[in-house]
Structure 1
Amino acid sequence: MSLPIAGSTWFDGRVPNPRSHRGPTFADLLKQRGDSHEASTSQTLPSIIRDRSWTDEDGTVWRMRGGDQPARKTVEHLLLDPEVRVLLIADLRPVDVALKDRAGLWAEVRQYYPEAKRREPGDHTDFAVAEFRDSQRRSLLVIERHC
């Protein structure tokens, strides 16, 4: 007797469902957590950088500047500026990064910046960085962590 192949018929006439023994999908897990606003209709995760604009909790609309990641010097300058809001998105929710925590964040992000592509085997971490501006020319630095 041979084992059934996906798409073949079982001995009782049922067609096997290849997903029947898998756990919940990532979208299902997001729904359980309450993060289903986009996960229920799409397999891609929300991304402020990919969307190129973001409206914050106060209704301020932020629009991305440029197309590529800013130069390292630009990022360092923005991180040091107390007038610049910095958002880290690591768990689907934007978190404001306090001025005192920015140096530590940059130490981690800098390792993955395009010019420094030295990774340990099995390290799939990546960061996307972008500068945004609002209508009053204030700056926002968005850092997205992808694993």
Structure 2
Amino acid sequence: MGHKRKAEHGKSFAAIVAEVEASRGAGGPVVAWSQPVVDGEFTDEGGVRWQLRGDGSMPWKRVEQLLKDPEVRVLRVYANEASDVLPADRESFSAEIKPYLTGKVLREAGDWTDFLAGEFKDEQHNHLLVVEQSC
């Protein structure tokens, strides 16, 4: 048993990367998605800068408290779209995200959905709940 000659090895890592990049074709540039909870900060459409409280791991009890408070702005972030969750819609939103955030989701085939929640504060100590959806 000798060593394989270099020609007998598979493709180099650089060659594989080059093939992957070439397969992308002219599909355009790769777009980075907004991830406020992961990034630890968020600037809203009004230019207000929000900072994440803690490390981004929130107990469900705190998420519930923030969802029930009409004074707290709640944002759902998916891809590069941030949309407000109005107080009238928060009960159904809570029911949708709770299984994912508590680890009790029963996934159907092909369900790659996940949620991550973070509490943010601005300089005036206002609260913002951001729920990131990924799939």
TM range (shorter): 0.7 to 0.9
2:118 pairs with one of 109, 116, 130: 130
**Code of the aligned partner of 1:127:** F
Displacement of 1:117: 4.4
**Code of the aligned partner of 1:140:** L
Displacement of 1:20: 9.2
- Residue deviations 1:24-73 (CA, integer Å, cap 9, x gap): 688x387xxxxx5xx4xxxxx32111110111121211000011421111
Q: Which residue of 1 aligns with 2:87?
A: 99
Secondary structure of 1:128 counterpart: strand
Between structures 1 and 2, the one with greater helix share: 2
**1:63 partnered with 2:51:** yes
- Runs of 4+ in structure 1 over 3 Å off: 17-26
Q: Aligned pair in 2 of structure 1 residues 141, 18: CA closer, same or farther (>3 Å)? A: same
**1:74 partnered with 2:24:** no
**1:49 partnered with 2:37:** yes
Q: Which residue of 1 aligns with 2:78?
A: 90
Displacement of 1:146: 0.3
Q: Aligned pair in 2 of structure 1 residues 25, 100: CA closer, same or farther (>3 Å)? A: farther
Q: CA RMSD in A?
A: 2.9
Q: What's the TM-score once normalised by structure 1's chain length?
A: 0.70
**1:111 partnered with 2:99:** yes
Taking the aligned partners of 1:69 and 1:25, their CA distance within structure 2 comes to: 39
Displacement of 1:129: 0.3
Taking the aligned partners of 1:77 and 1:127, their CA distance within structure 2 comes to: 17
* Aligned length in residues: 124
**Code of the aligned partner of 1:128:** L
Taking the aligned partners of 1:102 and 1:29, their CA distance within structure 2 comes to: 36
Displacement of 1:91: 3.5
- Identity %, equivalent residues: 37
Higher relative contact order (CA 8 A, sep 6+): 2
For structure 1, list consecutive stretches of 5 or more residues without a partner in the other structure.
1-5, 8-16, 31-35, 40-44
Q: Aligned pair in 2 of structure 1 residues 20, 135: CA closer, same or farther (>3 Å)? A: closer
Taking the aligned partners of 1:82 and 1:135, their CA distance within structure 2 comes to: 20
Q: What's the TM-score once normalised by structure 2's chain length?
A: 0.75
**Code of the aligned partner of 2:114:** D
